[in-house]
Amino acid sequence: MKKNIDFSIIWRKLNQRLGVEEEGKLNDWLDEDARRKDYFERAQQYKREGSKVEQLIDIEGSRKKVAKKIFIYPRIRKIINVAAIFIGVIVLVGGAKLYYDSLAPVQQVTLIEPGRTKATLILSDGSKYDLDASHKNVFKEKDAVIVKTGKELAYKSQSPKFKLRKKKQTKINTLKVPRGGEFFLVLSDSTKVWLNSESVLRYPVIFDKDHRTVELIGEAYFEVAHNASKPFHVKTDKQTIQVLGTSFNINAYPDENVNYTTLVEGKVDVVSAIDLLHHRLEPGMQCVYDKQNDKTDVKTVNVAEYISWKDGKYIFRNKSLEDMMYTLARWYDVHVTFANSRSRKVKFKGNLRRKDKFEDILTIIETTNEVKFEINGKNVTIR
The pTM of this model reads 0.72
Question: Model confidence over 6-58: pLDDT tens digits?
Answer: 666 776 677 666 777 778 888 888 888 777 787 777 777 655 554 333 333 33
Q: Is residue 2 part of a domain?
A: no
- 228 shares its domain with 101: no
CATH number, domain at 360?
Answer: 3.55.50.30
Neighbours of 15 (CB within 10 A): 16
> What is the per-residue pLDDT for 40?
76
- 121 shares its domain with 49: no
* 278-to-90, 209, 237, 345 alpha-carbon distances in Å: 36, 25, 16, 33
Cα–Cα dist 365/89, whole Å: 8
Position with higher pLDDT, 201 vs 132? 201
- 108 shares its domain with 152: no
Q: Which of 16-20, 62-66, 206-210, 227-231 has the lowest mean pLDDT?
A: 62-66
Query: Residue 295 pLDDT > 70, yes or no?
Result: yes
Beta bridge partners of 155: 146
Rounded to an integer, the average pLDDT of 182-208 is: 96
Cα–Cα dist 78/29, whole Å: 12
Cα–Cα dist 57/70, whole Å: 8
Residues 30 and 36 sit within 8 Å (Cβ to Cβ): yes
> What is the per-residue pLDDT for 328?
94
Q: Is residue 30 part of a domain?
A: yes
> What is the per-residue pLDDT for 300?
96
> What is the per-residue pLDDT for 290?
92
Question: Model confidence over 132-146: pLDDT tens digits?
Answer: 877 788 888 877 889
Q: What angle do CA 108, 114, 115 make, to 5 degrees?
A: 130
Rounded to an integer, the average pLDDT of 293-309 is: 94
Cα–Cα dist 272/288, whole Å: 11
pLDDT confidence tier of residue 272, bands split at 50, 70 and 90: confident
Q: Is residue 1 part of a domain?
A: no
> What is the per-residue pLDDT for 41?
79
Cα–Cα dist 21/3, whole Å: 16
Position with higher pLDDT, 252 vs 40? 252
CA 344, chain centre distance (Å): 19
Q: Which amino acid is at 179?
A: R
Q: Which of 16-30, 99-113, 150-164, 272-286 has the lowest mean pLDDT?
A: 99-113
- 198 shares its domain with 283: yes
- 291 shares its domain with 336: no
- 303 shares its domain with 360: no
The tally of domains found in the chain comes to: 2
Q: Is residue 258 part of a domain?
A: yes
CATH number, domain at 195?
Answer: 2.60.120.1440
Query: Residue 242 pLDDT > 60, yes or no?
Result: yes
Position with higher pLDDT, 275 vs 279? 279
Q: Is residue 89 part of a domain?
A: yes
- 139 shares its domain with 200: yes
Neighbours of 376 (CB within 10 A): 11
- 60 shares its domain with 37: yes
Residues 289 and 258 sit within 8 Å (Cβ to Cβ): yes
Contacts 24+ apart (CB under 8 A), 140-149: 141/171, 141/173, 141/205, 142/171, 142/205, 143/171, 143/205, 143/206, 144/188, 144/205, 144/206, 146/121, 146/173, 146/205, 148/121
**Segments forming the whole domain that contains residue 150:** 116-307
Neighbours of 51 (CB within 10 A): 11
Cα–Cα dist 36/29, whole Å: 8
Rounded to an integer, the average pLDDT of 180-199 is: 96
> What is the per-residue pLDDT for 181?
95
Mean pLDDT rounded to a whole number for the chain = 78
- 212 shares its domain with 299: yes
